[in-house]
Amino acid sequence: MIRHDVVVVGAGCAGMRAAIEAKRRGVDVAVVSKLHPTRSHSGAAEGGINAALGNATEDSPESHTFDTVKGSDYLGDQDAIEIMCHEAPGDIYELEHMGAIFSRSDDGRLAQRPFGAAGAPRTVYSADITGNVLIHVLFEQLVKHEVKVYEEFHCTQIVVDDGRCAGVLAWDLVRGGIHAIEASQVILATGGVGRMYYGTTNAYACTGDGMSLAWRAGVPLKDMEFMQFHPTTLKSNGVLITEGCRGEGGYLRNSLGERFMAIDAPNAMELASRDVVSRAEWKEIADGRGVDGCVLLDLTHLGPKKIKTRLPGSRELALDYAGVDPIHEPIPVRPGAHYHMGGVDVDIWGETIIPGLWAAGEAACVSVHGANRLGGNSLMETITFGRRAGQAAGDRVRSNGDSGARIEASVVADERRRIAALLGAEGGERPAVLREEMAKTMYDKAGVFRTESALTEARAAVHALRDRARNLQLEDRGSLFNSDLVQALELEAMLECADCLVTGALARQESRGAHSRLDYTERDDDRWMKHTLCWHDGGEVRLDYKPVTVTKYQPLARSY
Ligand SMILES: Cc1cc2nc3c(=O)[nH]c(=O)nc-3n(C[C@H](O)[C@H](O)[C@H](O)COP(=O)(O)OP(=O)(O)OC[C@H]3O[C@@H](n4cnc5c(N)ncnc54)[C@H](O)[C@@H]3O)c2cc1C
């Protein structure tokens, strides 16, 4: 049996930041990750990370807080938002001191670019490869702090012993076999679930594993109906073209060449909040002013120098995947599933209702993003709340010592039998078939715009898929590098998250942030300014609600 004081599941920005902070507390820390750390989806982040440094124009944490509350369509918890916005500048300087190379302005200070719905240029960046820079800097720190990493270990269960978290079970992808990894404190940092949608910006590994593991262990998932659609993704494969393109001055045009954002956001134009821009695009396309199912992101007026120095990665993506050079031609783009505002319900230190079980990053819902996340706020959340969870979990070990919770041998034996049954099953369906049906269903029926009838169909389809997924057949029955098995485990997780999403969305009879109902077009604060909680009830989703924390800002109409 392996044992550590603190085990962090996930090695993206949130997981690594948490592990480093826990290790600084002088306790024994390990990371379990199904990917090599630098392959985590955080590494794909392009545009940047938000902190009110005030380097470009005057700015303040208060202003960052207000923009985030408004951007969340008043569903974000204001205490959590205040924490992030006030702690963000210190966290950015610390990343810089760790070695993160950020782009600089002419006077030598950290450069800041404007991002959607932000009152000031607030987004710190490293050209358009910010996530790649951060993930490598954090990995260096992880190595420097001598944190043990169980790499290519797929976590399959969170074990709860007498109401306390006892550790995790994980499948060793390289050698095969289930391992029990005991810990007094477990921090989930397993990222998002974009892969439940067709045409997503998310990596193949973003399959909501941690959310489903926590759900099955008895922790509610919060605000699962809120999936953000990014306005600028490539049609062919969903690859993201960063909001930084619009931040640097790019325009969105329809087939007539018009800047259609003038209709829905006459002031902010292309830099309105993402939900607003995605809906405007969807309407243009539906009304016949699209170009082959897309709208056009026009950067040609920025000139070759700016495109080559500020947006080199985006140019490369457009050239490789759309065959378009943005210096000369506009890039066809459309909305694609991008970021999940919902996740594991945690408090402002990242702790769940199960003592010793924490969550941070996209897997968690603190909630700082409410119904709609602002670009650049997610990386900041991974760092600030990753650090806080690592700090609190490390301190808990220092003050309380060994939690005493243990993983029984029978629990490990049961999990071994479950995996063996999956490997040996005959006569079922291939996971990939169900995965594709799920992704199409979610995109068509629970996408940018939603209705009662489409959501009812989506829910029935997801329930049918969950039934069919009980009878899977794997082509690869071996134990070494069995990606078929991983796909089956990921499919289960995504279907559970999808069930939570559609069940929450069907119940929420209003439009708020990314949840836009054609049959309930207004925000309804009297009935719906509350968080949705999805509980595991014998495998089914049971809904419940809890109030939003309001500190300073009463809800106002949201316009840009
Ligand atoms: C293309 C793209 C661009 C983006 N750009 C920006 C941006 O510019 N600014 C911004 O603020 N946000 C951006 N975002 C969002 C932001 O990058 C993510 O929300 C954030 O990086 C998530 O970090 P994380 O640490 O929570 O998870 P991830 O980085 O996704 O890491 C998840 C980790 O969990 C591990 N894991 C998952 N399941 C298991 C399991 N079962 N067992 C073991 N390990 C597991 C994985 O191996 C991985 O290490 C972008 C997102 C995408 C997809």
pLDDT digits (tens, 9 = 90+) for 49-84: 999 999 999 999 999 999 999 999 999 999 999 999
Pick from 40, 226, 372 the residue to mutate for probing ligand 1's pocket: most ligand atoms within 8 Å of its CB. Answer: 40
Q: For residue 48, name the pLDDT band (cuts at 50, 70, 90).
A: very high
Find out whether the beta carbon of 232 lies less than 6 Å from any atom of ligand 1: no
- Which residue, 392, 347, 379, is CA-closest to 88? 379
Given a cut of 90, whether residue 560 has pLDDT beyond it is: no
Residue 33 CA: nearest ligand 1 atom is 44
Q: How far apart, in whole angstroms, are the C-alpha atoms of residue 425 and residue 42?
A: 35
* pLDDT interval class at 542 (50, 70, 90): very high
pLDDT mean across residues, the chain? 96
pLDDT, tens digit, for every residue of 206-241? Answer: 999 999 999 999 999 999 999 999 999 998 889 999
Stretch 502-531: mean pLDDT, rounded?
A: 97
Residue 487 reports pLDDT greater than 90: yes
pLDDT band at 116 (very low <50, low <70, confident <90, very high): confident
Tell me the backbone φ, ψ of residue 105, rounded to 5 degrees: -85, 175
Can you point out the beta strands (E) in 176-223? 178-188, 221-222
According to DSSP, residue 515 is labeled B
Q: Summarize the confidence of residues 34-57 as an average pLDDT.
A: 96
Task: Tell me how far the alpha carbon of residue 181 lies from the centroid of ligand 1, in angstroms.
Answer: 23
Under 8 Å CB-to-CB from 234, ≥6 apart: which residues? 240, 241, 317, 318, 321, 322, 331, 332, 333
Strand 29-33 vs strand 123-124: parallel, antiparallel, or unpaired?
Answer: unpaired
49 close to ligand 1 (CB < 6 Angstrom): yes
Strand order in the sheet with 530-537: 364-365, 343-345, 221-222, 530-537, 540-547
15 Cβ closer than 6 Å to some ligand 1 atom: yes
For residue 378, give the nearest of 139, 50, 33, 12 by alpha carbon. 50
Instruction: Report which protein residue has its CA nearest ligand 1's atom 21.
Output: 42
CA of 504 to the centre of ligand 1 (A): 23
Does the C-beta of 46 come closer than 6 Å to ligand 1?
yes
Look-up of token digits 């009463």: 554
Which entry of 39, 195, 274, 406 is annotated as an active-site residue?
A: 274
Asked if the bond preceding 33 is cis, omega within 30° of 0, the reply is: no
Taking the CA of residue 191 as reference, the ligand 1 atom at the shortest distance is: 27
Ligand 1 atom index nearest CA of 47: 8
| Maximum Cα–Cα distance across the chain | 67
274 annotated active-site: yes
Tell whether ligand 1 has an atom less than 6 A from the beta carbon of residue 35. yes
Which residue is closest in CA terms to ligand 1's atom 23?
A: 42
| Cα 191 to middle of ligand 1, angstroms | 5
Question: How many other CB atoms are there within 10 angstroms of residue 77's CB atom?
Answer: 25
Which pLDDT does position 1 carry in this prediction?
82
Nearest-atom number in ligand 1 for the CA of 39 is 49
More confident residue, 1 or 35: 35
Ligand 1 and 18: CB distance under 6 A? no
For a ligand 1 pocket test, name from 112, 178, 379 the mutation site with the most ligand atoms within 8 angstroms of its C-beta. Answer: 379
- Measured CA to CA, the distance from residue 404 to residue 272 in angstroms comes to 51
* pLDDT tens per residue, range 350-383: 999 999 999 999 999 999 999 999 999 999 999 9
Q: Averaged over 319-330, what is the pLDDT?
A: 96
Task: State whether the beta carbon of 130 lies less than 6 angstroms from ligand 1.
Answer: yes
**The predicted structure's pLDDT at residue 558:** 87
pLDDT of residue 559: 84
pTM for this prediction: 0.97
- C-alpha of residue 287 to centroid of ligand 1, in Å: 34
CA atoms within 13 Å, Cβ hemisphere of 392: 21
Would you state the pLDDT for residue 519?
A: 97
Helix H, strand E, coil C: the string for 229-295 is EEEEEECCCCCECCCHHHHCCCEEECCCCCCCHHHHCCCCHHHCCHHHHHHHHHHHHHCCCCECCEE
Cα angle value 412/35/190 (rounded, 5°): 70
User: pLDDT > 70: what percent of the chain?
Assistant: 100
Ligand 1 centre distance from Cα of residue 363 (Å): 9
pLDDT at residue 60, as a whole number: 97
pLDDT at 438 over 90: yes
- Indicate if the pLDDT at residue 138 is higher than 90: yes
For range 486-504, the mean pLDDT: 98
CA dihedral 481, 484, 486, 491 (to 10 degrees): 170
Beta bridge partners of 160: 165
3-state secondary structure 376-407: CHHHHHHHHHHHHHHHHHHHHHHHHCCCCCCC
| Average pLDDT, integer, range 312-338 | 96
492: helix, strand or coil? helix
What separation in Å is there between the alpha carbon of 78 and the centre of ligand 1? 24
Angle, CA 302 vertex, CA 130 and CA 268 arms, to 5°: 75
